[in-house]
Amino acid sequence: MACEKIGFIGTGIMGAPMAHNLLKAGYEVAVHNRTKVKADHLIAGGAAWADSPADVAKDSNIVITCLPDTPDVEQVLLGQKGVIEAAKPGLICIDMSTISPAATKEMGSALAAKGVTLIDAPISGGEIGAIEARLSIMMGGPKKAVEKVRLIMQAMGRTVIHCGPLGAGQITKLANQIMCIHTIMSIAEGFAFAEKAGLDLETTLKVTSAGAAGSHSLKTLGPKIIAGDFKPAFMVDLQQKDLRLVAEYAEKLKQPLPGVALARQLLAQLQAQGRGRDGTQALVEVIRQLGQK
């Protein structure tokens, strides 16, 4: 196995299985998470624990971050006891979070002054994709650096694409999130409609999954909606964060996104009901509520 020493920061719903797959592939991995207990199973599986992001960077050739939002990444990479404090020239940082493209470029410049290369590599595929190492990984950064870490990425994802310079991965992910939310909206509306019309939802799912409406999201979320299972593979709060980033970038582009605006309003209703930590399939509940008025 390659001699890369990988540091992994952020062992949440997505990060934990991704780090596990790196261990399974034979890489030497050190982990750090704000809440250590969320990394305990990785430590039991052979990962080393690091007390801070700086400690992760000190002994790593590659540092991977998978965190909720832009300020979290900024703090971990550039803040006190951050990666930048202990980074050696030649270190490659790979941020697999979904964050601001503009902030990504700014962080890349700050790290470059220390001889560190930043690659943005946001992901799509949900928790199941992370567990099964079949994520879609959208990479932005220098081509030479991207190719250097491609094998590492392939231990976590099935589709690894270089999308362009630094920031291009994040912009591609935002386009992906636009498409995803519309798919989830269509599933929520379709199920609410079928349910109110008195159809058997299992039959509806079976037929629509095999036809033109079929999608990964329908096959994954449809059974959860039928079962009343709103456990998150991707949380409403995080979806809203992503759509905020979409709206901010779309405003810069002067590109109206009316469907995204509606989805944000409906997701905000879920958040107002205290359901921000539910999975995005909970959108069906808002559509059902509209039908009760």
Catalytic residues: 173
Contact assessment for residue 234 and residue 280, using Cβ atoms and an 8 Å cutoff: yes
* Rounded-to-integer distance, Cα 243 and Cα 111, Å: 27
* Rounded-to-integer distance, Cα 260 and Cα 201, Å: 27
Residue 153 structure tokens = 């990425």
Backbone angles phi, psi at 237, to 5 degrees: -60, -40
* Rounded-to-integer distance, Cα 99 and Cα 138, Å: 13
* Rounded-to-integer distance, Cα 8 and Cα 138, Å: 18
Cβ atoms within 10 A of the Cβ of 4, count? 17
